[in-house]
Structure 1
Amino acid sequence: METKKITLLYTSDVHGYILPTNYSDHQERALGLAKLATVIKQKRKHDAIILLDNGDLIQGSPFTFYHAKYHSDRPNPMVKVANEMGYTSSVFGNHEFNYGLDYLRSVIEQADFPWLSATVVNKEDNEPAFGKPYLMKEVDGIKIAILGVTTHYIPNWEDPKNIPNLAFVDAVEATKEWVAHIKKEEQPDVCIVSYHGGFERDLETGEPTEPLTGENQGYRMCHEVEGIDILLTGHQHRSIATELNGVTVVQPSNNAQLLGEVSMTLTKESGSWKMTDSKPNLLEVDASIEADQTIVNLVQDLEHKTQEWLDTPIGQMDGDMSITDPLTVRLKEHPFVEFVNKVQMDVANVTISNTALFNNDSPGFPKNVTMRDIVSNYVYPNTLKVVRITGKDIKDALEKSATYFVIDKDGEVAVNPAYMNPKPQHYNYDMWEGIEYELKISNPIGDRVASLNYQGAPINDEQEYDVVMNNYRAGGGGNFTMFQGKPVVKDIPTDMTELIANYIIKQKMIKVSNNSNWKVIK
C-alpha cells in the first residue's frame, strides 16, 4: 500500500515580530520570524512542506507601527519576509484592518501568496471581499484545500473608518457552506480550515470558557462542520496541539514563539488518497536557534531606523511613575494610570476617562522618557472616542470591571482566573479618572460598586456624561455592551502612542501626581 508524508507548518498572531526582540530593551528574545525561518529551512531539507499563516501578521510591534506611520510608502517588511519564507497563503486576522484598507490593499498587492477569508465580504453583494475564500494546493500529488476564515466579531472592535463597505458573516455558517462546496467541487484529499479565531469552550469538558458572543467558535466548528480534517486556530494566543472530535487542532501562541506543525500520513486506497494519520505538534524557538541572516538582512535598514526612533528622548518625569507590581496598580490608583487618563482627558477636553493597564509587562515610565518607553507600555494601536453615556452605564461598566477580581482561599483580593485563562485579558479591566468610586469584591457580582460620585455628589443614573475611552472599548470590546450603540460625540483618530508622545513633548517636564480617586477593597 502506497503512503506519503506531508508536513504542514503554520504561524499565527506573529504581530509584526521578525527579529528576536520585544523592543522594550536591546536583549535577544526567543521569538520572531527570523528564528522560525531557520527551523523551516531545516524542515524543508527533509520533508514535503506546506507553510501557512493564520492572521494578525502585519500589526502589533513597534517595528510595524513605525513602518505604518512613517514609511508606509516603502515595501511592507512583513510581506517581504513572508515572500522570502515561501508562505502558501495567509488569512486575514482582526488586526490586519488596524491601519486601514489602503494599507491592507498594498499588503495584499505586494504578497506573492493569496490572502484568504470566507467571512470578510462586501456589503453590497455578500461576496468575499478580497478574492477567493479558499485555495487548492497540490503537494507531492496530494490535493490540499485551504479555507480561510476570520472571526466575524471585528466590527465590535475596529474603527468603522478602517472597514468601510465590509461585512463580516458568521464564521461557523460560512465554514459549513464553503467546506461543503469544496468537498463537492474540488474533491480534495485533505481539507484544512485556517481560522483566525479560537475556542469558546474547554476542549475536554465542553464547558464555556467565555461568553458565547461568537468571537471564538472553534469548538462549534469541530462538532458541527463535517469534512474538516485539520483546524488551524489563533487569535487567543494559546498553545494547543491536540484532537477534538476527530479533528486535528493546533494553535501556536503569538509573536512567532512557536511554530505549529501537523505531520500528515496519506495512504492510497482504491485509487485515491486518504489522510490516515495526523500528528499535531508545537516547535519551540529557543536560544540555541540562530536567526536566519537572509531574513535579518531584508529588514535591517528599517529595523535600524525603528531602534533610533525608539531611543529618541522626548521628556522627563518629575517623580516616580515606575510599575513594580501590576496587581497593586489595579487595586489602587497609580500615577501611571492617572497620567494616561489625564492625557486622554486633555486631548478630548472632557472630565471623565477610563483606561487599562494592558498587560503585566508594563514597566511604567522612568525619569527620562523615550518612545521605547511609550510603546513598551501602550502596546495597542488604539485611537480615542468620546462616548455619551448615562450614569447607569458608568455603574454597569464598573460592575463589569469588578468581575476581574475574586476573593482567594486566603481571603485576599486576587485576579479572577477567567481573566487569565484561556488567555490573559488584563486589558478588559478599566480604571477611571474624573469620578470617585470604590469596588468591594466581597460583595456579590453585580453589586460591587460600593460608592460612585462625580464632582462630590452621587452619580445620577439618568444623567448623561461624556467619557473618553479607546476605540476598542467604545465599540463594546471586552463585552462592555453598555457602550455599544451610544452616541460618539468626538472621534480622535490619532494613535494613542502619538498622543502620549505629543503631550510629553509639549509639557517637557511632567509632574507626577496621584489623586487616589478610586480603590478596590475586600
Structure 2
Amino acid sequence: MLKNDNTKLLILYTSDVHGHIMPINYGTKQEAVGGLARFSTVVKEIRSKSDHVLVLDNGDLIQGTPLMTHYIKQHSNKPNPMIKAMNRINIDAGVIGNHEFNFGQQILQAAIDQSNYPWISANIIDKNTNKPKYGPPYIIKIINKSIKVAIIGVTTHYIPNWESKEHITGLHFTDALTTVKELVPFVRKMEQPDLVIVAYHGGFERDIETHEVTEPLTGENQGYEICQIDGIDILLTGHQHRQLTGYINNVLVIQPGNNGIAYGEIEVVFENSRTGWKVKDKQASVQLLSDIPPDKEILLETEEIEQSTQKWLDQPVGYIKGDMTIDDPFFARIKKHPFIEFIQKVQMEASDVDISVTSLLNNNSKGFKSTVTMRDVVANYMYPNTLVVLELQGKDMKAALEKSAAYFMLDEEGNIIVNPSYEQPKPQHYNYDMWEGITYTINVAKPIGERIEKLCYHDQPIIEHDRYHVVLNNYRASGGGDYTMFQNKPIVKEIQKDAVELIRAYFEKYTTVEATVTENFSVVAK
C-alpha cells in the first residue's frame, strides 16, 4: 500500500516495433505473439486501474513488415498505419529510430505530421536552422498536478554510416552522448524536474553487469557512458533488440526487445517530503505480450490495409526450376547456396558489374520454393536496401573478406562454428558477407585477419592497388556493420530501386529461374 504522501507512476514503452501492428507472421501467415494491437489492450487495462501512466515509443516504428512495405509502395498518400495505431493507443511521445529514415524524409515528416503526440529529438539537427529538425529536445509531463517529469529524446548518431545520403540530406547528427551531457544539467537547472528520463534509440556498448566492452566503441551504442552522466534517473534504450533490465551508476536501465513481442514497464514511486517530491523507488520489467488478446479497435482500423497487403503478398511473381530452399542457414553461409547465387545475379544484372556482395539476412530466411510469391520475396529480403557500385582497391576487398571471415571460429573438437559475438548480445548474421565474381578460401584455422587465401578475379590474383567495381547494398556500402573499408570510396553508380523491386523485376524478365551453384568460395579449417 502506498502512503497518502506517495505517488506511483507507471511508464510503458515500446521500442523497435518495426511495423508490427497485427498479430501475424507475414512469412507464414500464422498467428504471431506480438504487435501493437496486443500492446493496446495492455495500455487500456493499465490505464483503467492506474491514475498516472506515461506511454512512450523509442523508435524504429515505421519500417520492418510487408504491411509497411506495401503501404509505402502503393498507399503512401493515405495515413500511416503505424501512426494511426499509436494515435489510437494515445501515446505521450515518440523518439526517432535509425530505420525511420529508410523510406526518406518525406515519409518520416508525413508520419510526424500525422502524429497526435510529439516526437522528441535532441540531436538530429537541421543544417539550415541549426535547430532540432523533428521535434523538441525534451518534453515535460506533469503527474499528480505537481510532479514534474522531464523526457529527453536522442537517437544513435551512427545513422550516416548506414543510411542512403539522399535520405538524410540537410541533416546533422550530433553525438548522442555529448548531447545528453549538455542537456541533462540544462534541463535540471531550467525545469527543476522531479524525474529525468532519457529515451535513447541506441543500446549498450558494455555488459551492464560486468562493465566489459562488448563491441567496438564506434559510437553506435553509448548507453553505458550515458549512465555516467549525473542527473539521469531512467534510461530507456533500444536498437539492439535485446531484453534486459538493471542499474548502471544508479540509473535504472531497460530494453524491451523488438517486433512488439514485449514492452517495458517501469514503476516509479515518489515520496512527498518537505523539500518536494523525491524518487523513493524505481523498478523495471520486460513484459511479454504473447497471452494478450489484440485490441479489436486496432484490428478494425488496420483491416483495409492489412487485406490489401495479404492480397499483394499472395501474388506469384515467378518460378524456380530446381531447389532454392534453405534448410540450414549455417550451411547456406559455409557452402555456396543457390538462393545466395540468385541474389548475386539480381544485383549484378541491375548494376551491370561482375563482382557482387550479399548476405543471408537472418536465420529465418527459407529461400524460394518452386512458385515464388511476394510473400516469399519480402520474407527473405525484409530491408528496403538499394544498391551501390563502389570502386574498390584489392586491399579493400581483402580487408572486407577478412572481416567477414571473423564470423567463424573453431570449437574444441576443431569443428567450424559461428563466432558467439555474432549471436550475442545481438544476432548479427547479416554482417557475414559472401562474394560473387571472385574466388577465395576462408581458412578458419588461421588467426582472424589472416584467413583469406587464394583470392582471385578471372583466375588471376587480386592485386592490392588495382581497382575493381563491386555492387553491394547501400547499408554495407556506407560502412554499415563496421565495414569501414567501404566508407568514402568512389561511387560509380547508384541503383535507386530497392531489393524487393529488383527481385520482382528479375522474375518479370525471366519468369522461371534455374537454381544454380557456382562454387567460387570455400570455408575450411586446415
TM-score by length of 1: 0.99
- Alignment correspondent of 2:311: 308
Residues in 2 aligned to 1:388 and 1:46: alpha-carbon distance in whole angstroms: 61
Q: Which moved more, 1:128-137 or 1:154-163?
A: 128-137
- Alignment correspondent of 2:200: 195
Residues in 1 aligned to 2:260 and 2:143: alpha-carbon distance in whole angstroms: 25
% identical aligned pairs: 50
Across the aligned residues of Structure 1 and Structure 2, the Cα RMSD in angstroms comes to 0.9
Counterparts of 1:123-138 in structure 2, within 5 Å, are 123-138=127-142
- Of residues 501, 506, 520, the one that matches 2:504 is 501
Q: Are residue 102 (structure 1) and residue 138 (structure 2) matched?
A: no
Q: Is the 8 A contact 2:316 2:371 kept in 1?
A: yes
AA at the equivalent of 2:199: S
Partner SS for 1:442? coil
- Of residues 92, 97, 104, the one that matches 1:93 is 97
Partner SS for 1:268? strand
Question: How much does 1:126 deviate?
Answer: 3.0
- Alignment correspondent of 1:23: 26
Residues in 2 aligned to 1:139 and 1:431: alpha-carbon distance in whole angstroms: 54
AA at the equivalent of 2:365: S
Counterparts of 1:109-508 in structure 2, within 5 Å, are 109-141=113-145, 142-223=147-228, 225-286=229-290, 288-508=291-511
Task: Report Cα offsets for 1:191-238 as digits up to 9, x if no partner.
Answer: 000000000011112111110000000000112x11110000000000
5+ residue gaps, structure 2, are none
Residues in 2 aligned to 1:427 and 1:17: alpha-carbon distance in whole angstroms: 21
Partner SS for 1:453? strand
- Alignment correspondent of 1:58: 62
Residues in 2 aligned to 1:250 and 1:183: alpha-carbon distance in whole angstroms: 22
- Alignment correspondent of 1:7: 10
Task: Report Cα offsets for 1:11-49 as digits up to 9, x if no partner.
Answer: 000000000112001110101010111111111111121
Residues in 1 aligned to 2:217 and 2:130: alpha-carbon distance in whole angstroms: 24
Residues in 1 aligned to 2:144 and 2:17: alpha-carbon distance in whole angstroms: 28
AA at the equivalent of 2:73: K
Task: Report Cα offsets for 1:456-515 as digits up to 9, x if no partner.
Answer: 111111110000000000001111111000001101111101100110121100011001
Question: How much does 1:298 deviate?
Answer: 0.8
Question: How much does 1:321 deviate?
Answer: 0.2
Question: How much does 1:125 deviate?
Answer: 4.3
Residues in 2 aligned to 1:253 and 1:498: alpha-carbon distance in whole angstroms: 29
Question: How much does 1:388 deviate?
Answer: 0.3
Residues in 1 aligned to 2:245 and 2:297: alpha-carbon distance in whole angstroms: 30
Residues in 1 aligned to 2:522 and 2:35: alpha-carbon distance in whole angstroms: 39
Partner SS for 2:132? coil
Question: How much does 1:410 deviate?
Answer: 2.2
Task: Report Cα offsets for 1:303-329 as digits up to 9, x if no partner.
Answer: 000000000001100000000000001
Q: Is the 8 A contact 2:208 2:246 kept in 1?
A: no
AA at the equivalent of 2:246: T
TM-score by length of 2: 0.98
Task: Report Cα offsets for 1:425-481 as digits up to 9, x if no partner.
Answer: 001000000000110001011110021010111111111000000000000111111
Task: Report Cα offsets for 1:395-417 as digits up to 9, x if no partner.
Answer: 11000000111101221111101
Question: How much does 1:352 deviate?
Answer: 0.2
Question: How much does 1:140 deviate?
Answer: 1.8
AA at the equivalent of 2:488: G
AA at the equivalent of 1:78: M
Question: How much does 1:271 deviate?
Answer: 4.3
Partner SS for 2:149? strand
- Of residues 60, 67, 71, the one that matches 2:71 is 67
Task: Report Cα offsets for 1:135-179 as digits up to 9, x if no partner.
Answer: 111122221111000000000000010011000000111001111
- Alignment correspondent of 2:81: 77
AA at the equivalent of 2:253: V
Residues in 1 aligned to 2:369 and 2:81: alpha-carbon distance in whole angstroms: 31
Question: How much does 1:116 deviate?
Answer: 1.1
Question: How much does 1:130 deviate?
Answer: 1.8
AA at the equivalent of 2:445: S
Residues in 2 aligned to 1:59 and 1:99: alpha-carbon distance in whole angstroms: 8
AA at the equivalent of 1:62: P
Question: How much does 1:117 deviate?
Answer: 1.1
Q: Is the 8 A contact 2:319 2:371 kept in 1?
A: yes
Partner SS for 1:78? helix
AA at the equivalent of 1:114: P
Residues in 1 aligned to 2:53 and 2:412: alpha-carbon distance in whole angstroms: 50
Residues in 2 aligned to 1:140 and 1:442: alpha-carbon distance in whole angstroms: 63
- Alignment correspondent of 1:46: 49
Partner SS for 1:210? coil
Partner SS for 1:382? coil
Partner SS for 1:409? coil
